[in-house]
Every structure is written in C-alpha cells, then in structure tokens.
Copies of this chain bind each other. A is one copy, B any other.
Amino acid sequence: MEKAKFGVVTISDRASKGEYEDISGKYIIEYLEDVVSTPFEIVYKVIPDEQDLIEKTLIYLVDVEKCSLILTTGGTGPAPRDVTPEATENVCDKMMPGFGELMRQVSLKQVPTAILSRQTAGIRKHCLIVNLPGKPQSIKLTLDAIFPAVPYCIELAGGAYIDTYPDKVKTFRPKK
C-alpha cells in the first residue's frame, strides 16, 4: 500500500522564533501515530502568522508534497495576527463548513470562548485541510470528534486510502 502523506503545520509567531517549544504540532503528530493504522509519513512545518507564508506552505504541501491531509494549529482566534482561516480559504477549491461547526460545538461543552475560534476546513485538489485549536487538550477533543469522517472525506476527494485502529477512532464509510 502506498504511503499517505500528512502535513502538520504549527502557525505561531513565537513558536517559529523558538521562543517556546511547539507542543501542539508535536501532539498532532502523536495523535496521528496513535490512531492511523495505514502507512503514512509526516511533513512538519512551524511558521509565523503571516498569511502569505501560510498560503504558500499549504500550497506546497498539497501541490508538491502531495499530502492527503493537512492539520494546522494556531492562528484561528480574533487577534489581528490570527489569519489561518483566511489563508486556508484562499487556497481551497471548496470549503467544508461542517468541520468548523462541529469543532466549535464540542469545544463549547468545555469553555464558552469556543465561539471565538474561527477554525475552518476545506479541500484543495485531493487534500483535506483542517484548522485545529491551539492547545493539545482542545486538539484531542476536536480530532476525536471529526476523525471518524476524515478517511472517507479524503477518499471522496481522491486522496490516499487511510484507515484507523477501531479501538482508537471508528472510521465511518457508508455502505454502498
């Protein structure tokens, strides 16, 4: 089976300068290693909150690296430097509003400020791009909510075939 490629992109001015360790991006990588049962490799990037650079990075990961899934963390709030959703929308062929809705809904059970997250998702070519929250605890919560739909989404978009360990994440594919 051909290896799938997953992009993990931490978007943070401070992490990209090395002012703190990128625990969020590393957590996403751990999560993928924990739940995905089919072969894959990770392309990992840490970049500042520059919209142009975020767009170029996403385009590179899809068009050159041929990633089937990109998970970003950071830059989805209301602060002036938070531009991840705008960059994502600019590079996507089609948007997937259900991801952002569900991620905010599950986060809202924990904190009322979940509505401040502007996270979105979309498809560029054969790749699903999803914005995740900034903190590992929230990343786990939202990934647990959306991941059952991720393998089928990538399949429909024409990306790699991926599957999960059913005791970790129950991948759902409708019966034909």
Nearest B-chain residue to A83, judged by Cβ: B94
Interface size of A by CB at 8 A reads: 44
Decide yes or no whether A111 CB sits under 8 A from chain B: yes
Partner of A149, one of B93, B112, B118, B173: B112
Interface string of A9-47 (1 = CB under 8 A from B): 000000000000000000000000000000000000000
Known: A96-B115, A98-B114, A113-B172. 15 other contacts (CB 8 A): A78-B123, A79-B157, A79-B158, A80-B158, A85-B94, A97-B101, A98-B104, A98-B116, A99-B115, A101-B104, A111-B172, A112-B149, A113-B148, A113-B174, A115-B149
